[in-house]
Amino acid sequence: MKKTLALLLSLTLVVTMVAGCSGNSAATTNSDVIKIGVFEPLTGANAAGGELEVDGIKLANQLRPEVLGKKVELVIADNKSDKAEATTAAARLIEKDKVVTVLGSWGSSLSIAAGGIVKSNKVPAVALSATNPQVTAGNDYYFRVCFLDPFQGTVMANYAATNLGAKNVAIIQEVSNDYSVGLAKFFSDAFVKLTSDPNAIVATGNYNTGDQDFNGILTNIKAANPDVIFAPGNYTESALIIKQARALGITAPFIGGDTWETNELITIGGADVEGAVMSTFFDDTNPLTEAGKTFVAEYRKAYPDRQNIPAVTALGYDGYMLTLDAIERAGSADPQAIRDALATTKDFEGATGMITINANGDAQKNGAIIKIVKDGKFTYLNTVTIK
């Protein structure tokens, strides 16, 4: 009895382990294959965001499965939404799976954590929606296809001051998340400058990833009575924050950043997140480029039952297409050659707009899309361009 039980338990363990690894294809030694690493959170607090980017990468891979006459193989590694796990996952992709380039990760903190690994191994990486400047700063091997937080912070500060007519704001930030802290700072700086009022930030609340109770900080914010609340951060926590704020009788509008655009914000937030406004990268109802139209059409074909096309999925698509373009221009699958080709990208037509990589490794983008939650959907509000 005991033995059978022990056997059964160890079997369960083995099965779960195998299942946990099923995302990684077996390592092939075939040189006719070019391996691209996909470095995303597929479990943990950011899992929903990672999955959306993987959707875009896979869609692009189906459309363009080959480059230089070789088959492209995606090796997916789960960084578990954890900074420590992120370095391990990136190291495994590069050292064990021998990928020639890496795509990801959702979440700037996770990308920053992998920065050292890609730099020391001289394997290029393309961040998709990681907006914090630190991702590419001082790292010649990290690139990105999205805009940056100083820009995004300014866009949202403008929106709060001009469109909402806010005189003062409260900020709620996820202190353990570089993205959230960075964006909150860029927003505050821009907002203080816009209103010429050094005391325009009337309250700040900090929380940690995974927190569920925000009543304490929200009660403080309610007492400060701000016109608008800026709360960049992870979607689950943000949804709970907005819910609890409404339950405490706070009526000020909530605005946030690109990480809000996941279905979980709406499913968890329900009616309380109606009217929440965020900046993002892409609007499926109005693609700016031909590549954008192709992406929308292909996405609709692949997922006919889905309504909104999340912006980060479009960025996943762009990241893959840009990488393949770079491999083609490099004429080889050598990581250093791909890196040099990525660095000299000029006017690449992506689904989210034209991409030109600057000296920092960032895509030069000066337009953001503002969306609002309306009738349980992310709805286009307007496009903001800042020169």
Partner 1 sequence: MVIGMTLETFLQQLINGLSIGSLYALIAIGYTMVYGILRLINFAHGDIFMMAAYFTYFGIAVFFLPWYVTFFITIVLTLLLGVGIERFAYRPLRNAPKTSLLISAIGVSFLLENLATYLFSGKPQAFPNFPLMTTPINFDGLTIQPVSILIPFVTLFIMIGLLFLINHTKVGMAMRAVAVDYDTAKLMGIKINGVISSTFAIGSGLAAVGAILWCMKYPSVLPLMGVVVGLKCFIAAVIGGIGNVKGAVLGGLILGFSETLMVAFFPALTGYRDAVAFVILIIILLFLPNGILGKKQVEKV
Interface residue list for partner 1 (CB under 8 A): 2, 5, 12-13, 16, 19-20, 42-45, 47-48, 51, 81, 175-176, 203-208, 210-213, 215-217, 219-220, 222-223, 236, 239-240, 243, 246-249, 264, 267-268, 270
Minimum CB separation of residue 52 from partner 1 in Å reads 10
Contact 167, 197 (CB under 8 A): yes
Q: Which is nearer to partner 1, 68 or 247 (CB)?
A: 247
Measured CA to CA, the distance from residue 345 to residue 186 in angstroms comes to: 27
Measured CA to CA, the distance from residue 78 to residue 50 in angstroms comes to: 9
Q: Which is nearer to partner 1, 221 or 368 (CB)?
A: 221
Minimum CB separation of residue 325 from partner 1 in Å reads 32
Q: Which is nearer to partner 1, 295 or 378 (CB)?
A: 378
CA 190 to centroid of chain Cα atoms: 22
Q: Which is nearer to partner 1, 73 or 78 (CB)?
A: 78
Q: Which is nearer to partner 1, 13 or 68 (CB)?
A: 13
Minimum CB separation of residue 135 from partner 1 in Å reads 22
What SS3 state is found at 312?
helix
Minimum CB separation of residue 323 from partner 1 in Å reads 26
Minimum CB separation of residue 157 from partner 1 in Å reads 22
Q: How many CB atoms lie within 10 A of CB 341?
A: 21
Given the structure tokens 């000029």, which residue do they identify? 346
H helix or E strand, kind and range, residue 204? strand 201-207
Q: Which is nearer to partner 1, 78 or 362 (CB)?
A: 78
Q: Which is nearer to partner 1, 47 or 338 (CB)?
A: 47
Minimum CB separation of residue 47 from partner 1 in Å reads 4
Question: Which residues share a beta bridge with 173?
Answer: 206
Nearest to 329 by CA among 320, 316, 338, 317: 338
Q: At what angle do helices 290-302 and 47-63 cross, to 10 degrees?
A: 100
Minimum CB separation of residue 276 from partner 1 in Å reads 15
Contact 255, 229 (CB under 8 A): yes
H helix or E strand, kind and range, residue 70? strand 70-78
Question: Which residues share a beta bridge with 220?
Answer: none
Question: Which residues share a beta bridge with 380?
Answer: 371
Q: Which is nearer to partner 1, 97 or 211 (CB)?
A: 211
Measured CA to CA, the distance from residue 271 to residue 286 in angstroms comes to: 26
Minimum CB separation of residue 172 from partner 1 in Å reads 9
Contact 86, 79 (CB under 8 A): yes
